[in-house]
Amino acid sequence: MNLSFWSDEDRLFVPRLLGWSINFKYIAKKLGWIKVAAPEGELSPSDEPELTSESREDRLRRAIERSRTEGE
């Protein structure tokens, strides 16, 4: 079932059989009420969830090392 008021199109008004309809999904995305999922394959390695259980200190050390190498 295709809801006329909840479309994946990236615009406020979407054409329908008998005229136009307001796209409430577009409004919800703009207001930050729903998150937009990135298409598969567009995630950078830093966006992927980590499966290893490392301590907070290890994550901080790794972030510091990354920031040191970015300036080189």
Write out pLDDT tens, residues 3-47.
778 888 889 998 888 889 999 999 999 998 887 766 665 555 555
As for how many domains the chain has, the answer is 1
**Residue 40: both structure tokens together:** 């598969």
48 or 22, higher pLDDT: 22
Residue 46 lies in a domain: no
Range of the domain at 23: 1-35
* Distance between CA atoms of residues 8 and 50, nearest Å: 29
Residue 24: predicted pLDDT: 92
Residue 57 lies in a domain: no
